[in-house]
A and B are shown apart, each in its own frame.
Chain A
Amino acid sequence: MANNQINTNIPISELRNILMHFDLPSGVGLTVLEDISMSVNSGEILAVLGPSGCGKSTLMRVLTGLIKPTHGEVFVHGEALKGIHPSAAIVFQNFALYPWLTVSENIAMGLESAKVEPDLIKEKVGKVIDIVGLEGFEDVYPKELSGGMKQRVGIARALAVQPELLCMDEPFSGLDVLTAENLRSEVLNLWLDHKVDIKTIFFVTHNISEAVFLANRIVVLSANPGKLRVVINNDIPFPRDYRSSEFLSMVDRIHEIITSAILPDEVITPEMEKMTQRVEALPNATVGEIVGLLEILDDHKGQIDIF
């Protein structure tokens, strides 16, 4: 928890009024993101949560400078971003490992670009391999690995460059449930135990409990076009338990926000929820009685005063 307290005033990254618009080949325009402003602060794990097709991955690509937004600006430490984010790394949904490079060659990719000395590269690669638990697989090609191991390589490659901002694009959605759960806890433990010097983790997911399990702050997007719906602070203390009541109620709350069609104006608190949940129950009645009521209603042109 100590991590979240290092907040400085200037956010690590900031998005201002981002609008993303694509021209489809058919000639129809598609607005993927609309008017999104948010900041990514030091010391937090930030989750962007939303249904598929809401533009969360696009948002991550805008943040890292992989794509330029149609409108709006991206700031890094208060300065407008040009080109690729200077100290970000990405863990990709489908791993994006180069199949013709070995595990260590894949991990060394970013280090080689940074013109690190070969000996130092070796040392750094060895260190992250140790951290993510890939010992013994250094000279293996990715296709010989299971999905979970592949994503470990993806994570190791990202950690190797010691990024300020670690981005993850649905990092566990390509894995089976148990492997995903396992890897998720491992990533969280790396963060909590300060084994890696990352300032912020920014990740994109459609899995509510994953967001609740990992994140300090959850940004919920709505789809078509992707708009910022609500930002939720998640203060459940670590380690979080998937079955605890506060965990479950948080998941329920977010689920409701996502499935409800109304856009809430402000952060929903549990008290407000209790108020809206009071609904008058229907009296017991048989089907015949209901049909009779409908017929009477029909005879009176749809309106009748029964009291």
Chain B
Amino acid sequence: MSLIRSYIKLTRKVSWADILILISISAVLYGVIHFGENFKAEFKPLTEIDLSPLALPEYSFFSLVRGFAAYAISLLFTLVYGYIAAYNRRAEKIMVPFLDILQSIPVLGFLPGLVIALIAVFPHSNIGLELAAILMIFTGQVWNMTFSFYRSLQSIPNELREAAKVYRLNWWRRFTKLELPYSTMGLVWNSMMSMAGGWFFLTISEAFIIGDKDFRLPGIGSYMSAAIHDGNVPAMIYAVIAMSLMIITVDQLLWKPLVMWAQKFKFEETEAAIVPKSKVLDILRSSHIILFVREKIIIPVINFLKPLATYTKNKIDNSEKRVAVFQKIFKSVVGWMFKLIFLSAALYGSYKLLGLLISVNIDEWKTIGVDLFLTFLRVCAAVVIGSLWTIPAGVAIGMNPRLSKIFQPVIQVVASFPAPMLFPIVLLILMKLGGSIEYGSILLMMLGTQWYILFNVIAGAMAIPSDLREAASINRLSKFMKWKRLILPGIFPSLVTGWVTATGGAWNASIVAEYVHFGNDVLAATGLGAKITLATDVANFGVLAASVIAMSTTVVLINRFFWKKLYVLAEEKYSLTK
């Protein structure tokens, strides 16, 4: 899991690219909100959710399809975006900070606008809602995958690249024989993480309330929200069980075999001591049907297609030379036109957004400031409290192979469980115990984000070289000294990554954790997350835009000025790989 570590990279300083990106994001935000403002069309009546447990398999299937549809888009996006970012120097300058900002801003704040916009496009069917859900899941999945692919491409050892050049691999063969295999391990791990993140967004976007309008898609998330609305406790339990079963099934049938298969692409000269095992892959590998399909169908088809591919490639090669000059001119003209259009659209959008923001009065801005601060405190509290138990637990698991063998798969499944589904249940218990949502929301935020810290601490503890541990034992370090001299410095780089991811997740979670629909009631804490959700509920788009921008800017600034410093420290002082 240490693979995740290196992919989150903070750009060195705030550059002109950042500003350009902020402008264009503002423009998108304006466009989305503008759509929402004009939205008056009738829409399809509320989808009725059948609360019988027999309906759950079908609902789970729908949710699963949504998750994988979004995943397919994420993968495609990742391959294209990552490839361009890694190989086009000029594009890289914009694309990487763009990715960095997008992965750190709370995209949930964009959900209401997006839902409304897409429903406006498809007023009489569920297509708009479906698209919005899939897009939301996509935004929850894609960033870390893209970063992973981009980083992998960049870290391909020079000698392997040179071998590809000297032995004249063409573009396609270089992609399939070198670049894709080299990135596979990282992509598979990150896909797994992404699917977990995707479930979080799925449950939220399947059942979504704006004003008095209740948007529902048939799925496991809406089943849960209907169950909560009706106060139907057995149905809530069924939903939780169904979700867990779905996650475990996907884990066993898809991720485990994939991870094991990906071992083949591990770039290590020596064989690893512990090889992940998967029963499903064993079955697939020993299956005669699969063998038959591979030998008699897939390979012949590929062999048939190969000459075709080289033929067209040759043709392209020849014509390329002829039109090279023309192409160059054409490219630069189109490039400038594209830039001009992009820039003017971005500027127009941000100008309009500015108008929307000006409509928000001073007092409102003041409360946004106060709420921002309160949510900031909650985010900090969630990360600190989360760290208090995950660091010792993670170290214990990571340093003990037997424990990690037992716990890692369990934690993986637990962490994939979408926390928002549990919010009402947790709140219910909390209320009974006399708590309030002001503090309870911290717990809700933790529910979704502490896993990032735990995973990274486990990975960090596992990566501490055994000779360092032996040196600590032979020098008889006391428990305290062992933590101070060995463990904390050893896990520090991974811990920082965990913290960054957890904080980002906590900001995002605040939008759903500070404002929870509960039956016909609403429990709301004072905070910016609640403000965003409330502004959505009452369709106050000025405040919505102001809040989302305030939150996004804060997150980006904290990343640039706080986490960046810790990253540099971790890289320079505590890196074990140097």
**Residues of A participating in the B interface, judged by any CB pair closer than 8 Å:** 61, 64, 66, 84-85, 88-90, 92-96, 98-101, 109-110, 112-115, 141-144, 150, 157, 161
How far apart sit A142 and B270, CA to CA, in the bound complex (Å)?
9
Is A89 in contact with B166, judged by CB distance below 8 angstroms? yes
Is A96 in contact with B267, judged by CB distance below 8 angstroms? no
Q: Residue A98 contacts which of B160, B268, B270, B310 (CB distance < 8 angstroms)?
A: B160
Query: Which B residues from 216 to 267 make CB contacts under 8 A with A?
Result: 264-267
How far apart sit A93 and B267, CA to CA, in the bound complex (Å)?
17
Q: Residue A114 contacts which of B157, B168, B270 (CB distance < 8 angstroms)?
A: B168
Contacts of B177 in A (CB 8 A): 98, 101, 109
Name the residue of chain A whose CB is nearest to the CB of B162. Answer: A66
Contacts of A144 in B (CB 8 A): 271
Is A113 in contact with B162, judged by CB distance below 8 angstroms? no
A111 CB to closest chain B CB (Å) equals 9
Is B162 in contact with A100, judged by CB distance below 8 angstroms? no
Task: Tell me whether chain A's interface is mostly helix, strand or loop, or mixed.
Answer: loop
How far apart sit A85 and B166, CA to CA, in the bound complex (Å)?
8
How far apart sit A98 and B267, CA to CA, in the bound complex (Å)?
9
Most buried by A among B170, B177, B268, B269: B269
Contacts of B265 in A (CB 8 A): 99-100
Contacts of A114 in B (CB 8 A): 168
Is B266 in contact with A90, judged by CB distance below 8 angstroms? no
Please classify how large the interface on chain B is, using the bins under 10, 10 to 19, 20 to 34, 35 or more. Answer: 20 to 34
- Kindly list the 8 A-B residue pairs having the minimum CB-CB distance in the complex, ordered from nearest: A110-B167, A96-B159, A113-B168, A96-B163, A109-B167, A100-B181, A92-B159, A90-B166
Is A98 in contact with B162, judged by CB distance below 8 angstroms? no
Q: Residue B166 contacts which of A88, A93, A99, A142 (CB distance < 8 angstroms)?
A: A88
How far apart sit A20 and B447, CA to CA, in the bound complex (Å)?
56
Is A84 in contact with B168, judged by CB distance below 8 angstroms? yes
Please tell me if B484 contacts chain A, counting CB pairs below 8 Å.
Answer: no
Please tell me if B169 contacts chain A, counting CB pairs below 8 Å.
Answer: yes
A131 CB to closest chain B CB (Å) equals 18
Contacts of B266 in A (CB 8 A): 99
Name the residue of chain B whose CB is nearest to the CB of A147. Answer: B269
12 A-B interface contacts by CB (under 8 A): A66-B162, A88-B166, A90-B163, A92-B159, A92-B163, A93-B159, A98-B178, A99-B269, A113-B167, A141-B264, A142-B269, A157-B163
Contacts of A96 in B (CB 8 A): 157, 159-160, 162-163
In the complex, the number of residue pairs spanning A and B with C-beta atoms less than 8 Å apart equals: 67
Is B166 in contact with A112, judged by CB distance below 8 angstroms? no
Is B268 in contact with A143, judged by CB distance below 8 angstroms? yes
How far apart sit A92 and B379, CA to CA, in the bound complex (Å)?
51
How far apart sit A112 and B268, CA to CA, in the bound complex (Å)?
25
Given A110-B168, A113-B167, A113-B168, are A143 and B269 neighbors across the interface (CB < 8 Å)?
Answer: yes
Name the residue of chain B whose CB is nearest to the CB of A111. Answer: B167
How far apart sit A4 and B240, CA to CA, in the bound complex (Å)?
79
Please tell me if B165 contacts chain A, counting CB pairs below 8 Å.
Answer: yes
How far apart sit A81 and B163, CA to CA, in the bound complex (Å)?
18
A46 CB to closest chain B CB (Å) equals 18
Contacts of B170 in A (CB 8 A): 113
Please tell me if B173 contacts chain A, counting CB pairs below 8 Å.
Answer: yes
Is A94 in contact with B310, judged by CB distance below 8 angstroms? no
Is B173 in contact with A113, judged by CB distance below 8 angstroms? yes
Interface contacts beyond A66-B166, A84-B166, A85-B166: sample of 11 additional A-B pairs, CB < 8 Å, sorted by A: A90-B163, A96-B162, A96-B163, A99-B268, A100-B265, A113-B170, A113-B173, A114-B168, A115-B310, A157-B163, A157-B167
Contacts of B269 in A (CB 8 A): 99, 142-143, 150
Is A109 in contact with B163, judged by CB distance below 8 angstroms? yes
Given A98-B177, A98-B178, A144-B271, are A61 and B163 neighbors across the interface (CB < 8 Å)?
Answer: no
How far apart sit A103 and B203, CA to CA, in the bound complex (Å)?
48
Contacts of A94 in B (CB 8 A): 157, 159
Contacts of B270 in A (CB 8 A): 143
Is B169 in contact with A92, judged by CB distance below 8 angstroms? no
Name the residue of chain B whose CB is nearest to the CB of A161. Answer: B167
Mark each residue of chain B from 164 to 186: 1 if its CB lies under 8 Å from any CB of chain A, else 0. 01111110010001100100000
How far apart sit A84 and B160, CA to CA, in the bound complex (Å)?
15
Name the residue of chain A whose CB is nearest to the CB of B264. Answer: A100
Contacts of B167 in A (CB 8 A): 89, 109-110, 113, 157, 161
B11 CB to closest chain A CB (Å) equals 15
Is A109 in contact with B181, judged by CB distance below 8 angstroms? no
Is B162 in contact with A92, judged by CB distance below 8 angstroms? yes
Name the residue of chain A whose CB is nearest to the CB of B158. Answer: A96
How far apart sit A100 and B168, CA to CA, in the bound complex (Å)?
18
B446 CB to closest chain A CB (Å) equals 40
Contacts of A109 in B (CB 8 A): 163, 167, 169, 177
Name the residue of chain B whose CB is nearest to the CB of A150. Answer: B269
Contacts of A61 in B (CB 8 A): 162
Contacts of A150 in B (CB 8 A): 269
How far apart sit A157 and B168, CA to CA, in the bound complex (Å)?
13
How far apart sit A248 and B178, CA to CA, in the bound complex (Å)?
44
How far apart sit A40 and B349, CA to CA, in the bound complex (Å)?
63
Is B166 in contact with A64, judged by CB distance below 8 angstroms? yes
B570 CB to closest chain A CB (Å) equals 20
How far apart sit A301 and B96, CA to CA, in the bound complex (Å)?
69
B273 CB to closest chain A CB (Å) equals 13
How far apart sit A142 and B264, CA to CA, in the bound complex (Å)?
11
